[in-house]
Amino acid sequence: MNMNPTVMLQEAERILKLNDKGVYTVPTHGLYPFQWNWDSCLTALGQFHFDPNRAWVELETLVAHQWPDGMVPHIVFHQHDEGYFPGPGVWKTGRPVPTSGITQPAVLGLVLEQLYERSADQSLVRGRCEALVYAAARWHDWFYRCRDPEGTGLVALLHPWESGRDNSCDWDAALAAVPVDGIEPYVRKDITHVDPSERPTQFEYDRYVALVQCYRQMGWDNERLHDAAPFRVVDPGFNAILIHSEFALARVAQALGHDDVAERLFARAQRCVAQMEQLWNPALGQYSCLDRRSGCLVNSASIGGLLPLLVLPQGHERAHALARRIQDWLAIAPFGVCSMDPNDSRFDGRRYWRGPSWLVVNYLLIKGLRQGGMGAVAKQVLKASMACIEQSGCSEYYHPMTGEALGGGTFTWTAAMVVEFLTVQNQGS
Ligand code: DGY
């Protein structure tokens, strides 16, 4: 495709507008026709460059659908659309505007801090920002209350979709143990939009659906779901994002003069960072998931286990080990950091989260590397990410060895990352 930066920025703006539904943005038309939680938050970073007000609205719309218990759901079904499965009739969560019944990575806090810091006149956004900080803090409280009822400092996922990395090898063993007897017949829609070789398998979908049905039968009662869940996995990537966002929220709360909130969040984030050590997997030389049902670490070296870069302090030996792994992976697969160790026999460069590279995760890694003082490696990741765009435009994900565009096209959050990379990250801030 070979685009220069000006053309890339124009293309990214075109895609952000193409997928804009006024007060929320769809990830891409057809495949994902509603509002997705972490897509939407990361999209706001790109929107802010062209229209700051629109970026705030994106976050406000998402948070307007927060559940009374504090959960911010992973999908808000704003409009009827037959092109997606599972739709509101499967979830049956009983919300006034239908939503799914699970959540997604908590990037809201870290995005909020970026928007606040980048606002030319912070006094003008003070009220909006305060409301969002309170909503996000309530969501974080929900995580630690409902997904860590024993107070270990690490929250569990009850569905692979909550991780955002749906079919990562990380879930293989835990997902295989989910009973599927009694699942209602269903028809997948995703494979009418995208080549099935780039999507999760039928085996995985059956279990995704079984989990939805199981939690639906329990009335989506988050006070009970954790202990009864047939899938309960602690993911280092998910926890690192949550803790990173918690620190970000604490800083914004402090800047706004809400010292009580700030102190509470700082204290919790600090306690939880220390608990990440439980997820260090010496056999893999990186972090890995913990199956909370069996109590065992999962031997799967995925990108989730590199994301703790987001919470490790400068000079930490584990941070250097993770940066070396990134460099090793890039030497084999140069188009972005791949989602699974390319040396693993399960690596599949085409199939969704089992190998392809995703620019949003690359963005988070760049953030973590910079925070850890490893700017040179961050630059390498930035260059590898831009190589995907230069070659294939704004796709959902990319083959990490060839840069081939995979999954959905004209993809919103990828466009947002292009804006972020070209306007902010290149300047090293
Ligand atoms: C999907 O439908 O593929 C989504 O990732 C679930 O959130």
Which atom of ligand 1 is nearest the CA belonging to 36?
A: 7
Q: Which two tokens stand for residue 38?
A: 């972490």
Regions of the chain where pLDDT drops below 70: 1-2, 427-429
Three-class SS state of 287? strand
Q: How many angstroms separate the CA atoms of 245 and 374, rounded?
A: 20
Pocket test for ligand 1, best of 161, 163, 354, 396 (most atoms within 8 A of CB): 161
Q: What is the pLDDT of residues 356-379, one digit of tens each?
A: 999 999 999 999 999 999 999 999
Pick the residue whose CA is nearest to atom 6 on ligand 1. 161
Which atom of ligand 1 is nearest the CA belonging to 164?
A: 5
Q: Which residues contact 175 (CB under 8 A, 6 or more apart)?
A: 160, 204, 207, 231
Which atom of ligand 1 is nearest the CA belonging to 208?
A: 6
Q: 227 C-alpha to center of ligand 1: Å?
A: 24
Q: 199 C-alpha to center of ligand 1: Å?
A: 10
- DSSP bridge pairs for 286: 281
pLDDT at res. 1: 60
Pocket test for ligand 1, best of 102, 166, 413 (most atoms within 8 A of CB): 166
Q: Which residues contact 353 (CB under 8 A, 6 or more apart)?
A: 165, 166, 167, 168, 302, 339, 340
Which atom of ligand 1 is nearest the CA belonging to 85?
A: 2
Pick the residue whose CA is nearest to atom 4 on ligand 1. 161
Task: Look at the block and give the residue holding tokens 């030497």.
Answer: 331
User: Is 5 buried (19+), middle (13-18) or exposed (0-12) by CB count in 10 A?
Assistant: middle
- Ligand 1 neighbours by CB, cut-off 6 Å: 74, 161, 166, 190
Instruction: Name the residues annotated as catalytic.
Output: 166, 396
Which atom of ligand 1 is nearest the CA belonging to 84?
A: 2
* pTM (two decimals): 0.98
Q: 203 C-alpha to center of ligand 1: Å?
A: 15
pLDDT at res. 427: 62
Q: 368 C-alpha to center of ligand 1: Å?
A: 26
Q: Which two tokens stand for residue 110?
A: 């870290």
Which atom of ligand 1 is nearest the CA belonging to 166?
A: 5
Pocket test for ligand 1, best of 26, 28, 32 (most atoms within 8 A of CB): 32
Q: 54 C-alpha to center of ligand 1: Å?
A: 25
Task: Look at the block and give the residue holding tokens 């690596």.
Answer: 347
pLDDT at res. 116: 98
Q: 207 C-alpha to center of ligand 1: Å?
A: 13
User: Is 405 buried (19+), middle (13-18) or exposed (0-12) by CB count in 10 A?
Assistant: buried
Q: 358 C-alpha to center of ligand 1: Å?
A: 15
Q: What is the pLDDT of residues 129-141, one digit of tens each?
A: 999 999 999 999 9
